[in-house]
Amino acid sequence: MVKCPNCRAEIDDSKMFLHERFCFQNIKYCEKCQEGIIKEEFDEHLEKHKSREIPENNISSEKERYDNTLKRVESSKIGCLYCGFFLSFSEYEEHVEMCGARTTECKICKKSLIYKNLDAHIKAEHNLDNDVYRQIDSGSINNNFDSFKVQKPNLNDLDLQDMSSSEQIAYAIALSEQQQTNENKSKEVKSNQTDLKKKSTSYDLDQLDDEYEKQMYEEEMKNFK
């Protein structure tokens, strides 16, 4: 068992991660009665202490305090990590597991991936904090991106720390587009080289269609020597 740092209740190790998600969002600890109280009810709860509607020495046994706190935690709701739908404690794990396995598209690079891998992808591939990424909407992307390209056409040596959230998003999109363009060019070159290899089996330059192909062929032949 582990003591929750928020509500002070003793929680089974295997349930601690889930308990903390609900507890920190919904529960506030009352020092007077030593129980976790629903946040929306906390001010009213304190007024009851002040008015002595709750006696000063009204401290239940440890087991009762834990039971009362856990009932409040498990009767509360929080939003799904992926879709935002509000769920009860008993629904949360199963829903999040299913929801996280759904496919989505990165709004920056358009890559298809599952929801539970999106946060790691945003950080690793685009060097963005997840809260910055979540500010993206279609209108702000287009407006900020067009403005960003005009103001900062050179993507080299730019520091994310000097940028606003909208500029960080625009920079990530511009960088992704640049990388995609480079990848496409690389694929085109490889495709041209493959075509040249097929044409060069007879080693007859006259069979090549134009001057560009002849140059590509000669470069390719250097690699064979």
| pLDDT tens figures, 56-67 | 666 778 888 889
DSSP 36: E
Question: Using an 8 Å Cβ cutoff, are 13 and 21 in contact?
Answer: no
Higher-pLDDT residue of 216, 41: 41
Whole-Å CA distances, 224 to 203, 211, 213, 217, 219:
12, 20, 17, 11, 9
Pairing verdict, β 77-79 and 112-114 = unpaired
Helix (H), strand (E) at residue 203: none
Round to whole Å and give the CA distance between 160 and 127. 9
Q: What is the pLDDT of residues 20-65, one digit of tens each?
A: 999 999 999 999 888 999 999 999 999 988 888 877 666 778 888 8
Question: Using an 8 Å Cβ cutoff, are 23 and 36 in contact?
Answer: yes
Higher-pLDDT residue of 144, 181: 181
- Whole-prediction pTM value? 0.54
**Residue 225's pLDDT band (boundaries 50, 70, 90)?**
very low
User: What pLDDT, on a 0 to 100 scale, did the predictor assign at position 201?
Assistant: 52
* 3-state secondary structure (DSSP) of residue 105: strand
DSSP 94: H
Round to whole Å and give the CA distance between 39 and 192. 65
User: What pLDDT, on a 0 to 100 scale, did the predictor assign at position 139?
Assistant: 45
Within 8 A by CB and 6+ apart from 114, the residues are 100, 101, 102, 103, 104
| Six-digit token string for 224 | 């064979």
Q: Which range, 45-49, 146-150, 165-169, is most confident?
A: 45-49
Whole-Å CA distances, 193 to 148, 150, 215, 216:
36, 35, 11, 7
User: What pLDDT, on a 0 to 100 scale, did the predictor assign at position 214?
Assistant: 57
Within 8 A by CB and 6+ apart from 200, the residues are 208, 217, 220, 221
